[in-house]
Amino acid sequence: MTLGVKETRRRNLLQLTGEKYFNYYAKRKRIVEALEKLLREAPEDAYGAEALGAAAAHAALHALDVLRRAVLKARRDRLIYREFGVVYDKDLVGALDVARSVAAGASGLYASLTYLPSSQNAPEYLLLRQLAKKSVKTAKKLAELLESSGQLRGEIDGKIREISRLYASLPRGVTWLTCRDAGYVDWLRHACVSYRVLRGLLRGVAVARRAREGLDVVFLDWRLYEIYIYFLLHDALEELGYAECAPRHCHNGDLCFERETQRICILFNKPHDSSIVASYNGEPAQRLRGRPDAMIHGGQKIVVEAKFSSEPQYITLGRFKAMAYVYEYGADAGLLVFPDIEDKKTDLEDEATLEIYRYMQQHDGTATVKLKDGRKIHLVRIDPAEGSPSEADKKAKTRLTKILKEHTS
């Protein structure tokens, strides 16, 4: 496999998942965490500007919204958490306790019991104003580079105008406080994250297998792939006539679907109480339970394992891992999804996996391993580089829908 195919796969995956990435975290009210996870050190082979587009625009939009909420919370705190004390000055700050305010001689000063200026001009507010101003300036430059739809560009411009209006009421001034010391105030930490993400987006976007923490915006490819599978399952069930319902109807579930009297629940990266793992050395063993990338239950039970890799050894491990999950959770079927497999020298188990993949190449990208007890392991090719992003997405949905129909009808 050439490096060009890997780059295409990652770029297409980002295009297919960029918007969905933030929708996934928004469902869990973890947008700030999602933005924080993007701040990494970009690898040398990052393609950067090639990824600027919808994914970067959505990242910028969410970063600006986090900043907007941070400024609103700071303005509220500045109004509520004010210290009341004696001030000697000619000017008054805020409300005045007239009964306990007296003139202080010929100097013209007043000893007034009022709001202390120090609480109105705390260093946290000064830093927030600086961050908001820098973020707006950065976002304007970024908006000029993004080749996004008019609606998305309009939303970004709207956020910029709103934030500019909101931070105008914050105090001006110089402060010793920096983002490194701002972790004790949530809204200030969130503003710092927002600014760092916007600044990173201006430099470009990268997709990598792994990366250390840093100041660049780097999406991890395996995480993008898992989230892509999440939405593929969502779309496949809707294609089969299921309607999404509130997750509260599924205990500990992430997605819930209903069709007539049937209800289907989906868990992502979570153990389930149906695990046969009970204890070790007499101690409860909940932490030892497997965490499939997805588990579908309601009627038949299906476990899903996603591997964003083309290494035969890694896909073979995924094949056996899917079988282990089927056994642990008493599932009716297991799904192993992956993009493709490199044809290279391997051991016997990996050669068997390659044999299955060669069959898949001749049979529309799927294969089924039948177990003696009647259960099945489905291997499914889900490859963002299998044509254009829209073509690859259509093939992926068709394959998953066909398999889910077999187990949900």
Together in a domain, 133 and 107 = no
Together in a domain, 322 and 303 = yes
Quote the pLDDT of residue 383.
96
For the chain, the C-alpha Rg in angstroms (whole number) is 27
Measured between alpha carbons, how far is 8 from 258 in angstroms, rounded to an integer? 37
Together in a domain, 270 and 367 = yes
Together in a domain, 337 and 228 = yes
Q: For residue 96, give every residue at least 6 positions away whose Cβ sits within 8 Å of its Cβ, in sequence order, or none.
A: 112, 113, 114
Q: Which amino acid is at 58?
A: H
> Where does a domain end: 194, 220, 246?
220
pLDDT digits (tens, 9 = 90+) for 27-58: 888 899 999 999 998 776 555 545 557 788 88
- The model's pTM is 0.84
Together in a domain, 235 and 284 = yes
- Domain containing 102 equals 84-119
Together in a domain, 130 and 239 = no
pLDDT digits (tens, 9 = 90+) for 210-249: 888 888 889 999 999 999 999 999 999 999 999 998 887 8
Together in a domain, 67 and 215 = yes
Together in a domain, 146 and 214 = yes
Together in a domain, 34 and 176 = yes
Quote the pLDDT of residue 250.
83
Together in a domain, 289 and 310 = yes
Quote the pLDDT of residue 188.
94
Together in a domain, 198 and 49 = yes
Q: Is the pLDDT at 254 greater than 70, yes or no?
A: yes
Measured between alpha carbons, how far is 393 from 384 in angstroms, rounded to an integer? 7
pLDDT digits (tens, 9 = 90+) for 329-387: 999 999 999 999 998 877 899 999 999 999 999 999 999 999 999 999 999 999 999 99
Quote the pLDDT of residue 107.
61
Question: Buried b / exposed e across 384-402, counting CB within 10 Å, b at 16+?
Answer: bbbeebeebbebbbebbbe
Number of domains, the chain: 3
